[in-house]
Each structure stands twice: as C-alpha cells, then as structure tokens.
Amino acid sequence: MNGGLTELNCLDLVLDVAAQLPRDIVFAMNGPISKSWLDRVNAVRARNGNCLYYGEVEGSRLDLINFLRGADIGLVLKKSRRIDTLNDRLYTPNKLFDFVAAGIPVICSRQITLRTARKKGFGIVLDTLTVECLRLELEALASDAEFRSALMHSVSNAFETHYHYEVASAELLDEMLS
C-alpha cells in the first residue's frame, strides 16, 4: 500500500483483511500516516505479524518506484466520494502508475481511472470494496503463482511498450480518464 494511509484510502479495510490472513501474506505500507492509524497497524502486526510500516520513502520518484519493486502485488484502493472526483482523476492514477512503473500488478478499487488495470491485464479491479472481496482476491493470488506471473509479465510489458514516463505518460492518463 502506497501513499496517504487513511480510511479514505481503505487502510481500515486492509487492516481488517490482514487480521484474517496468514502470516505469509504480508502487508507492507509506506506513506504519511497519523499516530492513531500507526497504532492500529502496529496492533495488527503484534497479533498477526503480517503488517509492516516503512515510513515515507524519501528521495525522487525513482526511489519510490525502486522501493515498490519489493512488492508482489500493489493495492490502489480508494473509497469513492463525489467530493473527490478531481482527486480521483489527478492523484489516484499516479499511485497506479507508480506500481506499473515498478512492474508490480495491482488490486484496485472501481474508480474509472483505475479500471485500465483490468482492461490491460495487469491487475484486478474489486467487484466490491469489502473485506471479503479483498481477502478472496488476495488468497486467490497467493495460491496461484502462474496467474501472478502472468500479471507481472503483463504489467512489465505494458510499462515497457506503452506507459513509460518518457514515452507515453500522457497516453496513460488519457486512457485512464476515458
């Protein structure tokens, strides 16, 4: 999980799922977080051992992308509110793009700007933004190495052929917003 770690970005949902999953499915998080949320992350880590908070990644965008390369799957989750339409169009796609640039497949919420993950074959869009739906998708990915590998190949190929920063960042934004 990358970016602002708040309820709006589904941290509550992620912690509820982490509490239900085995230790070998680890949730690594980075980004700004309040003390109350950090206390909740640490409580799940103490109980289950599967939540790690790394703080905010300092440095350039490339440093963030290199950090994200350590993940098996990225989570780009956001609760949908009418007030956040501009945020969904301008900020949320950046999170997706960071994971794509890192070659990491994603599980996304249903914002229109994130649906390209399913359309292009490098991620999963949750049918519903619930604990049960996220848990089932994570368990399925954990048990299917072949599917994870196919997603990783698709996301790496998508970045190299279409979504490279220097080549087509405008194309990706246009695609996400269409």
Hey, what domains does the chain have and what are their CATH numbers?
A: 11-177 (3.40.50.2000)
For the entire predicted model, the pTM comes to 0.83
Averages of pLDDT over each 10 residues, the chain, 178 residues: 83 93 87 93 92 89 88 87 66 82 90 83 92 94 90 85 64 72
In what helix (H) or strand (E) does residue 135 lie, and over which residues does it extend? helix 131-143
**Cα distance from N-terminal residue to C-terminal residue, the chain:** 25
Alpha-carbon gap, residue 48 to 88, rounded angstroms: 32
**Per-residue pLDDT at 8:** 84
Alpha-carbon gap, residue 113 to 110, rounded angstroms: 8
Alpha-carbon gap, residue 70 to 102, rounded angstroms: 9
